[in-house]
Amino acid sequence: MPGTVLIVEDPFVSKYLCSLLAPKGYTIKTAGVVRGNEFIRSGQASVIVTNAPGEFLEFADRVPVVYLSSAPDPDLAHKFHCCHMVTKPFRAADLVSAIDDACAEAGAVS
């Protein structure tokens, strides 16, 4: 079952992600880092999609991350209990698959 995806990305990428995820039934929240942290603290996000996972290390042990980057840092990714790295440019199907997997894992860990 689709979960709530928090997107913390630039507006162009956020809009594109919304267009991919909304038809699949995901609840989507877009925010900057500060508001994103508030959403997570209040339990309003199952998965984070971001190009700046370092801003969410506080939640590394409990919220899956889909890490979008043209040059992802594997050391940073390994700090999360669940992190899917998706390299930009990406195929839409690969990104959606990573988000689907992260949401499934979020259900398994919550």
Dist CA 104 CA 100 (whole Å)? 6
Write down the pLDDT at residue 110: 41
Give the DSSP letter string of 30-72. E--HHHHHHHHHTT--SEEEES-GGGGGGGTTTS-EEEEESS-
Structure tokens at 109: 């860990």
Distances, alpha carbon 32 to alpha carbons 7, 29, 50, in Å:
8, 10, 10
pLDDT tens profile 34-87: 999 999 999 999 999 999 999 999 999 999 999 999 999 999 999 999 999 999
Write down the pLDDT at residue 51: 95
Query: 23 lies in which domain range?
Result: 4-109
Nearest CA to 49 among 91, 1, 100, 93? 100
pLDDT tens profile 72-91: 999 999 999 999 999 999 99
Question: What's the domain count of the chain?
Answer: 1
CATH number of the domain to which 13 belongs: 3.40.50.2300
> pTM for the whole thing?
0.93
Dist CA 93 CA 40 (whole Å)? 26
